[in-house]
Chains A and B, each alone.
Chain A
Amino acid sequence: MSAQAKTGVFLCRCGEHIAPHINLELLEGMLRQEEGVAHCETMAFPCLKPGIEQITQVTADKQLNRIIVAGCEGRLMLNKLETQLRPLELLKGQIDMVNLRGHVASVSDLDPDQKAQKAAKLMVAAVSEMNALHPSSLTRAKIQGPVMIVGDGIAAYPAAAELARHKIDYLLTVPSNDPDDIVDTVHETYPGERVSHDRLKKIVKEGLSNPCATLLVGYKLEMLSGVTGDYHLTFTNPNGETEKFAAGAIIACLDAQFGLPGPGFGHDGVKVMIPSEMERHIQKSGAPKGTVVFWVSDYEIGQPEFAALSAKTAWQMGVHIRQCAPTSKVVMLYNQQMEVPLTAAERAQNRALDILWVPYDKAMQPTVQDGYLTFCNLSDHVEHEILWDYLVLSPQRMVSGQALNTAHILGLVHKHGRFLTGHHARVRPEMVGREETYLAGSARLPCSLQDTLAQGRKAAAKTAEMFHKSAQGDLFVPRVVCVVDPEKCIGCGQCQELCDCGGIGVADGPGGGLPRIVDPMVCTGGGTCAAACPYHALVLQNNSNDQREARVAALAQRLGPDESMAFVCGWGGLPAADVAGKQALKYDPRIYLLGVPCVGQIDACAMARAFKEGASGLLLVGCLPETCHHSYGLDHAWARVSTIKKLLSLCGFDRRRIALAHADLNHPLDFVKTMDSFTRSIAAMGPIPKSLENQNKLDALYGLIRNNTRVRHLLSAGLRRPWEEIYRGDQRHALDYDRDFSKVLAEEFLQQRLLMVFRKAKGPFNLDQLTGQVQEDQKEVATCLWDMVKSGVIHFSHMKHEAVYTLRK
């Protein structure tokens, strides 16, 4: 794969959707002149079989290594093109699409020649991006070695049994190597499952005694480092010594714990219990005699979503009691909002055993008294009292203690206030969708024992599949992932804090000032971490900041004085624009759309670049607030936009030239309003007047935001972290923060401008000359110069009784 771009541009006529609206001959003529364009042709339908065969032919003949298809929605079509062109070693990132149909042809009333001009600007920008692309080579992921099963959850045993079936070695942390001990304590996390205990014991035995197994009895996980395929896990063994193990993959089996209901429920652990306590009671002294009331109190303790689960396990326990002690009475008391979670067969069994289900009015919380429980009857609204000898309440479900600790070490906890489900997990080896994390057990989301065992089996089956793929050489590293340049990385850890997929860590060790590494099999390519790196050490490969800047610059240079550009995010703005185009909604043609996967991956220097190259206005259109697909990309974009706004103010330009907007793909009319309002306000403002002074300011603005590590550090430090539930713009006092940040920007901006004066012409300069050059307050310039002297950037001397300054080499 050569780095030198040879781009093939294929323009689509698309029946009557593009050709009559855009003068394609004119467009083709213009594009042929562009640097890097090795081939340009207009086709009837590049997306259909004849078209793709033609593209394949031309690509092979002319040795093209980049393809741009100008047609319709890349969101829909790129997948097909990438699949079909893969035999030619054209991979993701080397094929791009520009939506001429939806962003140019159908959305305005311009004549075909004008539309061709507009299309040409967008196409040239895409070509420039391709020229700046350094495609990565296709890398195979190697995953070998044993699988580590950690967390002491019950799902570990079916997972182990499944791995043994695939003849994969595994390390298994267990509290004890006696299957009886394990099954005897399973009621602590899964009460009411006595029916399954015999089967469970068989599975546990299989997992513990297989020749593939290495058992770590009583080991406690302390630290995890490394990446998928090459993990290092540090444990403390029962003797208190540290031991280290290598593993190719990790399966986390974590179970949720039970907490006690609050004092209002009268829990005493003797007569009023939670199910796990009741089961211990049954284990110790047999089924209780008398009336046992199971109150499904999940609605009252604030977790109604688990009412059905609690009711089911309570009922199973009730069945056991009735079977063991036929003289006992079992009553299930439940909130009217809950549906009775029994199947037809279970209902029949329920009738045979004569277990009573009593619903109560949701308006009144049942009250616990000694030996009685008051509830409001649903049918007659009379308060009834149930007599009980034992009362069993629903437990509080939570992840705590050792399970939570392990989850933290494995990077499974990213947002507080949740169970562990639905998050990008460190132990997830491939981007296989949110639900298929390699995490099993009720800590994921409370579930029954059956579900947990199934999850464990599934996790192991998926891991085995991945091992198999890796052995066959069919497992590839995703194309668009972050990579760290260890030469540039200083180990500040900003990226690791911001990353929500848990893909950033250190190769070996606890963290600190060590260079970071990215686990490519976990990285989701959100890229806000790369945009936040103060040193540009983190790069999103095949979709880098350099590419984006090249695209922005090419477009900005060609924009007219009242034209503006907009970044549209792949989940909000871009689909909204596509839908608007499909419905042929008309909006102001003076706006040019550039698609990005997420507005959070746009580095502030790419925004500054647009103004440096002559854009009058820049809009970023993301998703609706709090719906960002990459966690907080939108908030990060906000912080970057706000920085550019401050800098524009410092330059004396209108702050409104850059703005953040939100779009929902299902509301294309709102998108049209957004486009119109922004374009008109920019057109009314007019362009930034072209003068040497203004250009110097814009160059300084860009230089500052691209290279000044102080500003970049501050900007990254202020970004919303994945654990922040509410974001108010900053972690501390909003106004104080804003003032401080503005002050730093002003200070650094003046330094940057002075530096540019020094760099442009040979000194020495005296204070008056410098003040004249930057047109700022003399006192401030003097302070700034003194700071620069102190930090060793410039040199200070006397000449003819006057202080003069020169740039240090």
Chain B
Amino acid sequence: MITFKIDGQQVKARPGWTVLETAREHGIEIPTLCFHPAVSASGACRLCMVELREGTWSKLVASCIYPVAEGLQVHTDTERVRNVRRWVLEMLLAACPASPEIAALAAKYDVVRTRFTSHDPDQTCMVCGLCARVCDEVVGLSAIAIVDRGVHKRVGAPFAKPTDICVACGSCVTVCPTGAMQAIFDSVRGEPTTALTQLAAQ
């Protein structure tokens, strides 16, 4: 058993657990977006940041991928954590201004406007890759993936065409934290374009 503290509360954990899992087990809330229990954590959205303190020294880590250790001093609601959370939410607001889910989450943390410029007012996807992870790890296919690089990064099917690999199970739509997958889904599933011709009559 590993013993450490979250927000001053003494908690116990087993090796291999993460800070987020331990906090949730003890009823301490940490907001997340790209985390889903069905798949491995990736630490993409940085919303689950918590502060680790040791004397006068402190650092911020993503709790969903930070393993527990003896004697950690974790703080989930300090000024520094609140501040970085607000920054993350502001950036998310700029990245996906059309997502009502993001807007609602931001409003919960008193973020209602963003100082960053938004490039696409209709964007709902924050490219966290949760959908692609679900497709790979749960469904066992890779019908969708993160394609392109840098600012052009987006979720899509191979060659941006409906693909036969997709079995239209909708797991990606169900997990999507921003509701973006609903729009993308129809461009992934669907009949592949090859129309097939006749077999000869028997």
**Interface residues in chain A, defined as those with a beta carbon under 8 Å from any beta carbon in chain B:** 15-16, 44-45, 47-51, 53, 73, 75-77, 79-80, 257, 259, 302-303, 305, 396-401, 404, 408, 413, 416-419, 421-422, 433-435, 445, 571, 575, 578-579, 582-583, 627, 629, 665-666
Contacts and interface: CB of A to CB of B under 8 A. Distances in A.
Given A45-B25, A571-B169, A582-B174, A418 B185 contact: no
Given A305-B194, A434-B164, A75 B171 contact: yes
A285 B171 CA distance: 60
B179 A583 contact: yes
B38 A79 contact: yes
A579 B38 contact: no
B200 interface: yes
A398 B173 contact: no
A45 to B, nearest CB: 5
A408 B173 CA distance: 39
Nearest to A623: B168
Interface of B: 13-14, 16-18, 21-22, 24-27, 29, 36-38, 134, 138, 141, 164-165, 167-171, 173-175, 179, 182, 185-186, 193-200, 202
B38 A80 contact: yes
B174 A579 contact: yes
Contacts of B24: 15, 44-45, 48, 50
Contacts of B164: 422, 434-435
B199 A398 contact: yes
B199 A76 contact: no
B157 to A, nearest CB: 15
A401 B199 CA distance: 10
B199 A666 contact: no
A50 B174 contact: no
A199 B179 CA distance: 52
A49 B196 CA distance: 48
Most buried by B among A418, A419, A445, A666: A666
Contacts of B14: 49-50, 53
B174 A76 contact: yes
A422 B195 CA distance: 12
Contact of A571 (B13, B27, B168, B179): B168
A461 to B, nearest CB: 19
B164 to A, nearest CB: 7
Contacts of A47: 37-38
Nearest to B183: A666
Nearest to A43: B25
A575 B199 contact: no
A374 B176 CA distance: 56
Contact of B198 (A80, A417, A421): A417
A575 B38 contact: no
Given A48-B24, A422-B164, A579 B170 contact: yes
By Cβ-Cβ distance, the 8 closest A-B pairs, closest first, are A400-B200, A47-B37, A665-B170, A575-B170, A50-B25, A76-B38, A48-B21, A305-B194
A575 B200 contact: no
A15 B197 CA distance: 54
Contacts of A575: 169-171, 173-174
Residue from A302, A422, A579 with most neighbouring chain B CB atoms (10 Å)? A579
Given A48-B21, A53-B14, A76 B27 contact: no
Contacts of A583: 179
Contacts of A302: 197
Contacts of A433: 141, 165
29 contacts: A16-B29, A45-B24, A45-B25, A48-B37, A49-B14, A49-B21, A53-B14, A79-B138, A80-B37, A302-B197, A305-B196, A397-B197, A399-B200, A404-B202, A408-B202, A416-B198, A419-B197, A421-B196, A435-B164, A571-B168, A571-B170, A575-B169, A575-B173, A578-B174, A582-B174, A627-B168, A666-B170, A666-B173, A666-B182
A571 B165 CA distance: 15
Given A75-B171, A79-B138, A666-B170, A418 B196 contact: yes
A421 B195 CA distance: 12
Contact of A419 (B16, B26, B169, B199): B199
Contacts of B18: 49
B200 A398 contact: yes
B200 A303 contact: no
Contacts of A48: 21, 24-25, 37
B91 to A, nearest CB: 24
Contacts of A396: 197
A72 to B, nearest CB: 9
B100 to A, nearest CB: 9
Contact of A15 (B17, B29, B186): B29
A568 B173 CA distance: 17
B14 to A, nearest CB: 7
A434 B141 CA distance: 11
B25 A416 contact: no
A438 B170 CA distance: 28
A76 B22 contact: no
Given A47-B38, A404-B200, A666-B170, 6 more contacts: A44-B27, A48-B24, A397-B197, A404-B199, A575-B169, A666-B185
B138 A76 contact: yes
Given A15-B29, A50-B14, A400-B200, A445 B194 contact: yes
Nearest to A665: B170
A95 to B, nearest CB: 14
A577 B22 CA distance: 31
B96 to A, nearest CB: 16
A408 B199 CA distance: 12
Nearest to B14: A53
Contacts of B165: 433, 435
B167 A629 contact: yes
Nearest to B167: A629
B151 to A, nearest CB: 27
A411 B36 CA distance: 42
A578 B165 CA distance: 23
Contacts of B17: 49-50
Contacts of A75: 169-171, 174
Nearest to B182: A666
A401 B182 contact: no
Given A79-B38, A417-B196, A73 B29 contact: no
Nearest to B35: A48
Contacts of B138: 76, 79-80
A638 to B, nearest CB: 21
A629 B167 CA distance: 8
B25 A44 contact: yes
Given A50-B17, A77-B37, A418 B170 contact: no
A802 B198 CA distance: 68
Contacts of A417: 196-199
A53 B21 CA distance: 12
B171 A51 contact: no
Contacts of B196: 305, 417-419, 421, 445
Nearest to B21: A48
B69 to A, nearest CB: 15
Nearest to B181: A666
A305 B170 CA distance: 29
B200 A76 contact: no
A399 B27 CA distance: 63
Contacts of A44: 24-27
B175 to A, nearest CB: 6
Given A666-B173, A666-B186, A418 B199 contact: yes
Q: Which interface residue of B21, B29, B186 has the most chain A CB atoms within 10 A?
A: B21
Contacts of B199: 398-400, 404, 413, 416-419
Contacts of B141: 433
A15 B48 CA distance: 15
Contacts of A416: 198-199
Nearest to B37: A47
Nearest to B137: A79
A390 to B, nearest CB: 26
A398 B174 contact: no
B176 to A, nearest CB: 9
